[in-house]
Structure 1
């Protein structure tokens, strides 16, 4: 039987990296997303595109249909990522109801495998001196933040589907960075801000970051070697925010940032920042939830993925930032200051 890989959220940051990884290995790939390919990320790629909505099961019928001599392996990467402190019905619908629809369709069409892209935030935090590893029972009441809660519920849906006969597994990436993020995630925004001369301060704290290409490789390895009912943490390395901004400034040839905002000040201004950016319809660089995350235990253990899947890191922080900067420049995403005409 010929294997066909089906990737949801293929126009997104991670989804597109997964597609690239699969194609580099000569896999047959079909992709699905709710939107149009307005950035041309699938241009000249040998994939079949289906426009469908995870919240509408009927719209995914063709996506889940294969020939009699084909077996479908679904990688469910579609979802809404948010650091907002507020509940979002859309995020809940996409992350929870959408995942339930994916599982239902997978069972209906008797697919070969399902790999669900969860997050490390679906796993309850442990004290800072303890290593966070994979778990099998997920409870939204044990995690912080609205995004984390939706992913915990969705992860439980996938794990429970194994008892219904679905060959399914879960991957938990940490903070994903690297080139190709058209949505303007936080690392991409930091690099842009530095290039535009708007990065003047940072906050205390840090987090575990991993390159999107390493995560994509880990996900494909899970599809190839992962065991049903298992979860795999795909983490990178912990970096203080100051280390990240120093590396960005070094790559861009800028002076290092000297101002480090006290956490109490950042927490005090976070609600106002969220409100301001909501009015401007822009993504805030920090929120109450993201500040909580930067102070939380980010000691994630990826040994299981290393041992069972062959997962390993290939891209350093510096390489990720260099490639992000080159990608930003290549796509003309840096706003240049307008020159003021001199008077004669």
Structure 2
């Protein structure tokens, strides 16, 4: 028997059909929370077949729908976001993430929600050359590359302003690059894993990123809820990994030869531009795009020391996360 209204406060989780949102909802349910998930009618249902709670449909851009979903809610995990590195109209990403965050937080204030965990991203931080960046590296919208990162900066600043100016009871978490099971779309990093596991990435650029298991990110959300300071930001990361090493790890897991050709970014820009033009015609999502190449100039390395010290956060080795991701992609038919 699941938890009841009398025994457990109602927790609303947005983005439950997605990668991180579904993991957060499962982590909450596993410890006995009474979970309500808000999902759009058009969202994929792959992650919702065994959803451990109540599902309500609604668009986060519709304040009335969000108000209905927030009825009786005491705690909120706002995980949903428009996570695209490219769109025919890039500003649509900024508008979506700013508008939905504003609506959800306004409704939460009106509903007197007692505790909020807001899912931001390390995309709001300026990378630090030569060493991992921490939470002190907060960026302004004009200091980041691409519409997605700009959208997350705008949304995060909105939440911070509501914390300081209006008493919004929100803790902010900043996941790095989650990987693992239930990456249904998949995410941009999930696409790299799928392509590499299928032997379709013979070369790579000299870049790096911070990889973390999605279930560790979900656990970090719960720790932030339990122990985080209102208004504080906490990086939820894992291990810093060079892209070439990540591809070699994937090759070892699937039994392929690792790619050894490292290519400069500059000659790839015409190909990225061409991919974007094709995507505008076909309505697809270009695997290689201009913003992703611009981002690859920097090694996206981060430290979770603050979350480890204040929250007790821990992350497993990135190779375990890669293995779990590949196993799930195999089961979903994406990896041969």
What TM-score, normalized by structure 1, do the two folds share? 0.88
Runs of 4+ in 1 over 6 A off after TM superposition: none
Match of 1:31 among 31, 34, 37: 37
Moved more, 143-152 or 78-87: 78-87
Judged with a 3 Å threshold, the aligned counterparts in structure 2 of structure 1 residues 297 and 203 are, in CA distance, closer, same or farther, namely closer
Partner in structure 1 of residue 202 of structure 2: 200
Distance 2:210 2:137 in 1: 22
Distance 1:87 1:323 in 2: 34
Match of 2:269 among 245, 255, 267: 267
Moved more, 85-94 or 9-18: 85-94
Matched, 1:253 2:261: no
Distance 1:216 1:55 in 2: 24
Partner in structure 2 of residue 295 of structure 1: 297
Judged with a 3 Å threshold, the aligned counterparts in structure 2 of structure 1 residues 242 and 144 are, in CA distance, closer, same or farther, namely same
Which protein shows a greater Rg? 1
Partner in structure 2 of residue 229 of structure 1: 231
Distance 1:30 1:8 in 2: 9
Distance 2:188 2:103 in 1: 30
Judged with a 3 Å threshold, the aligned counterparts in structure 2 of structure 1 residues 22 and 294 are, in CA distance, closer, same or farther, namely same
Judged with a 3 Å threshold, the aligned counterparts in structure 2 of structure 1 residues 202 and 249 are, in CA distance, closer, same or farther, namely same
Partner in structure 1 of residue 3 of structure 2: none
| Cα displacement string for residues 257-295 of structure 1 (whole angstroms, at most 9, x for unaligned residues) | 132222222234221222234433333333222122222
Matched, 1:164 2:166: yes
Matched, 1:74 2:80: no
Two-structure CA RMSD over aligned residues (Å): 2.2
Partner in structure 2 of residue 318 of structure 1: 319
Partner in structure 2 of residue 7 of structure 1: 13
What TM-score, normalized by structure 2, do the two folds share? 0.90
Q: Count residues with an aligned counterpart.
A: 329
Partner in structure 2 of residue 339 of structure 1: none
* Deviation for aligned residue 1:205: 1.3
Distance 2:137 2:130 in 1: 22
Judged with a 3 Å threshold, the aligned counterparts in structure 2 of structure 1 residues 274 and 158 are, in CA distance, closer, same or farther, namely same
Distance 1:306 1:239 in 2: 19
Distance 1:274 1:247 in 2: 29
Partner in structure 2 of residue 53 of structure 1: 59
Judged with a 3 Å threshold, the aligned counterparts in structure 2 of structure 1 residues 269 and 38 are, in CA distance, closer, same or farther, namely closer
Distance 1:130 1:210 in 2: 18
Secondary structure of 2:266 counterpart: helix
